[in-house]
Structure 1
Amino acid sequence: MQKIHKIALGLLAAAAVATASDVIQLKKDTFDEFVKENDLVLAEFFAPWCGHCKALAPEYEEAATTLKEKNIKVVKVDCTEEAELCQEQGVEGYPTLKVFRGLDNVTPYKGQRKANAITSYMVKQSLPAVSEVTKDTLEEFKKADKVVIVAYLDAEDKASSEVFGETAEKLRDNYPFGVSTDAALAEAEGIKVPAVVLYKDFDEGKAVFSEKFDAEAIEKFAKTAATPLIGEVGPETYSDYMSAGIPLAYIFAETAEERKELSEKLKPVAEAQRGVINFGTIDAKSFGAHAGNLNLKTDKFPAFAIQEVVKNQKFPYDQEKEITLEAIQTFVDDFVAGKIEPSIKSEPIPESQDGPVSVVVAKNYNDIVLDDTKDVLIEFYAPWCGHCKALAPKYEELGSLYANSEFKDQVVIAKVDATANDVPDEIQGFPTIKLYPAGGKAEPVTYSGPRSVEDLIKFIAENGKYKASVAQPEAEEATEAAEEPAAETKTAEEAKESDHDEL
């Protein structure tokens, strides 16, 4: 009996170890006090049923363990149990991550949902916008992140110090910033003041900015120098490339050896276009499906393509041709010179528009969506998206209400399969709903409210040129659960069906 008792205690102890967590779970009666007592807190507001939350959980746990050593607190709140607290914090979808510096200084977490990205982001949050760097701390500061930026200044140069401080404040989420006024340290680093040095643990190791101090110029230098000459495009880097504001050239290959070989081969092209085009290799075995988004075949690698990120245009290199330095050099030069027409993926234009919801494809997108005489509400959807399927009957009802109203010639309810058609909008999740008001097509308004017919009507009436409001035959029942996230990305199960992961 005693032996059994010992075994039971041992199993309980093992279970306790297995379930030990460095993520602190808070409730409404403990949240405020905890945030007040700690200088910096990262909080996740989640729901147990949420697929994105489940995917985040192991990454969040790993980050919490690392950040615990740096005395940065990582917490979570179950919104199915603490609905009032989550409502107070303005939580609209899951997971929602926020950074707290007390209860009155709250900012959204803007990093990626991977352990190392969460750790890097929060370490930067724990530092001042600009840290004082000395000869004794420089080497340690260089190791604070993959990229750190240090200004070497004259102690009396207030103007340069202000410009650098302004840049650091703007980019503090991206990089740790330091400053040194030690002339001997600058000399030891081979730097002539004033100058900015970007230290990095890849490529050439560091880059130097020695031009006239200007916030915009320093920011451009930092973003260019901090991007690997030929990086790796994946889940952790994709959004950074998309937000860089310059085209991205993809090098698809199925093995690490082949990606390395192609990187070396195309390095001269990347060097010549640095700051103009970003270059990145991509694992075609894991992310080959993304080739289809660039209008490439998804079963023929290696492959090369350029994406004009701002306009979401695609320029695939002929996959029947060999990837050589000379051929890619010519292709890239012609792209920069505007000599290549973008490839446009489109379903056929419908022979007729008989339904209440207009069907948009790439080839009729401008004619329907950018018709400047009409308010156009358009849904960007994916056939596999569960939220899109749930919205479909309500969206049809919305289309019918406007089609049979006095506004039938002024308001268009439309939809487009964003997986089968190239659209100028960069769509991050499904469904995405936007209103293009008549007379102002350059500035669409993105919808973020509940997906009910009533709320969509209010949105059109409030944001459209014609203030078009229609009445429903009967009051609509509550349709949107508070827990439902604003948009859906591909699920793990759906990704497995195609044998590829999502970026």
Structure 2
Amino acid sequence: SPRLLTEPVAEMDRLNDHSLNGYMENIAGSQFQDKVIDQVTQNSFVFFHAPWCAHCKSLEPVMQEVGRHYLEDPSFMLYRIDGTKNDVLHPGVKIVGYPTLYFFPAHGKFSPLEYDGERTLEAMITFIDAFKQEPQQQQQQEGSEGSVSDDEHKIGGNSVSEIVVDAAGEAEEVGRQQQKLAEQRLQQQLEEGKEQRALEVE
């Protein structure tokens, strides 16, 4: 398979140390997974640009203001990627021109939203605030689109056996069939949340 295009991480460190871009972090293609996708408590707004792009240059000050606006918000990061030097393999990201802006919600990293609204600070803040997810919402987001009840979320437990035993205790009163369904749902919930929980432990 062809090698992915990526700038050296050392070059990103140099850019971030010596630029006036304190409100926006430059990242390389090789850092995308770690900085954006794996951060399950962080919302990310990614600015894909090209050095020769005049529209990108005119958008820079607005992006800086966006970064400054959210500077004190630990659940939000603004990143800049040079799309001409870095490949980003993601099923939801399609770069057909520059600038391109994508918002990755904290718990929806595989369903990013392309921003195609007005390129003003006010419009971007309205968009980000509408879709930004707080870290404590993760429990609700782990289930399949709200189909998992609050009671099941409260069951907790760190292993399959703990969760299933608790579920079985509750389900005993309502019959074997419902117990089976509860266990299946919890097993699915555990599988979906396992990766995120492992990341939180780290």
TM-score (norm 1): 0.24
Paired residue for 2:143? none
Q: 1:451, 1:357 → 2: CA distance?
A: 16
Q: 2:34, 2:69 → 1: CA distance?
A: 22
The CA deviation at 1:385 is 1.0
Query: Are positions 1:420 and 2:85 aligned together?
Result: yes
The alignment partner of 1:351 has SS state of helix
Paired residue for 1:347? 7
The CA deviation at 1:440 is 1.1
Q: 2:94, 2:45 → 1: CA distance?
A: 16
Q: 1:397, 1:463 → 2: CA distance?
A: 19
Paired residue for 1:433? 101
The CA deviation at 1:416 is 0.4
Write the deviation string for residues 433-456 of structure 1: whole angstroms up to 9, x where unpaired.
Answer: 110000110100111110001111
How many residue pairs get aligned? The number is 124
Paired residue for 2:121? 453
* Residue 411 (structure 1) aligned to one of 64, 76, 83: 76
Q: 2:132, 2:113 → 1: CA distance?
A: 9
* Residue 25 (structure 2) aligned to one of 355, 358, 364: 358
Q: Which amino acid aligns with 1:416?
A: I
* Residue 381 (structure 1) aligned to one of 42, 45, 49: 49
The alignment partner of 1:434 has SS state of strand
User: CA RMSD of the aligned region, Å?
Assistant: 1.7
Runs of 4+ with deviation above 4 angstroms: none
* Residue 465 (structure 1) aligned to one of 118, 133, 140: 133
Q: 2:34, 2:123 → 1: CA distance?
A: 27
Write the deviation string for residues 299-335 of structure 1: whole angstroms up to 9, x where unpaired.
Answer: xxxxxxxxxxxxxxxx4xxxxxxxxxxxxxxxxxxxx
User: Alignment identity in percent?
Assistant: 34
Write the deviation string for residues 145-173 of structure 1: whole angstroms up to 9, x where unpaired.
Answer: xxxxxxxxxxxxxxxxxxxxxxxxxxxxx
Q: Which amino acid aligns with 1:450?
A: E
The alignment partner of 1:376 has SS state of strand
Structure 1 spans left out of the alignment, 5+ residues: 1-314, 316-341, 468-503
Q: Which amino acid aligns with 2:81?
A: V
Does 1 or 2 have the higher relative contact order (CA < 8 Å, sep 6+)? Answer: 2
Contact 2:41 2:134 in 1 (8 A): no
Q: Which amino acid aligns with 1:345?
A: L
Structure 2 spans left out of the alignment, 5+ residues: 136-202
Q: 2:132, 2:43 → 1: CA distance?
A: 6
Q: 1:440, 1:433 → 2: CA distance?
A: 16
Map 1:281-360 → 2, pairs under 5 A: 315=1, 342-349=2-9, 350-351=12-13, 353-354=16-17, 355-360=22-27
TM-score (norm 2): 0.58
Please say which structure displays the higher CA radius of gyration: 1
Paired residue for 1:87? none
